[in-house]
Amino acid sequence: MRQIVLTTWVAVAAAGCNFDSGGMTAPATDSTAAPGDTEATAGATDDEGTSTTVGATGSATGPTTEVAVSYCHGFQVAAEAPFLSLYIVGGEVLTDGAAWPIECDEGRWMFGLYPSLGGWDPHSSQVKFTVEVDVEGYDPGDAGHFFSDEVDYHIGCEDPWAGLIGVAPVYLPEGVSDPAQLDGKPAEVRVTVLAGDMELRAEASVTLSAPRDVLLQGCTSP
């Protein structure tokens, strides 16, 4: 099972992927090309033509030629238009019908979101995702969702004190004692992020994957 690398910061700060290589970190980029369709009001498309559901409202500051902050981990400040795409571990796009695999994060099972985004200059080393996941029969939280939270996502090139590098985690609810019961369950994933005064969103109807052979490997802190 893939182990997530942590530093020592107490907040969960994620950072994106190098999808061309399949690795989980990316170098600083000032590229003008976003992965796939960069139209913020249409579907974002990956390099192989597979698209996630992406929409936007409002307006965002356009790309700049002078970047005050260096960006890494999937953030492309110079993309032609604001965009947001979601991937799973290994670099496959998270789109309708995809299998969303369970992963281990130092003693906690999770489903990982690996975003790629850009097209505006946040002048910050972090962006904030609003993440909601619904799984029928598993909505124990006050908000009535399997998972609902705001996730700080690290896009700076300097190392944070700690946090997950390259992933926004979706942890299991406390009421789920046996993750195997989630295997094969349909799930609705919704992620939004502010790009200036524009809201980008990505949505997908996926299937949770928590096979017994993976779970038998265990999930413990190092």
The CATH number for 173's domain is 2.60.40.10
pLDDT at position 211 is 97
Most confident of 9-23, 77-91, 130-144: 77-91
**Inside any domain, residue 120:** yes
pTM reported for the whole predicted model: 0.70
Task: Place 120 in a pLDDT band, splitting at 50, 70 and 90.
Answer: very high
Tally of domains in the chain: 1
Structure confidence by residue, pLDDT tens digits, 129-186? 999 999 988 876 666 899 999 999 999 888 766 667 789 999 998 888 899 999 999 9
| Average pLDDT over every residue of 201-209 | 98
Only one residue has tokens 């299937």, namely: 207
pLDDT at position 140 is 67
State how far the Cα of 104 lies from the Cα of 144, in Å rounded to an integer.
24
Task: Place 221 in a pLDDT band, splitting at 50, 70 and 90.
Answer: confident
**Inside any domain, residue 150:** yes
**Inside any domain, residue 34:** no
pLDDT at position 38 is 33
Would you say residue 23 has pLDDT above 60?
Answer: no
Containing structural domain, residue 102: 44-215
**Inside any domain, residue 31:** no
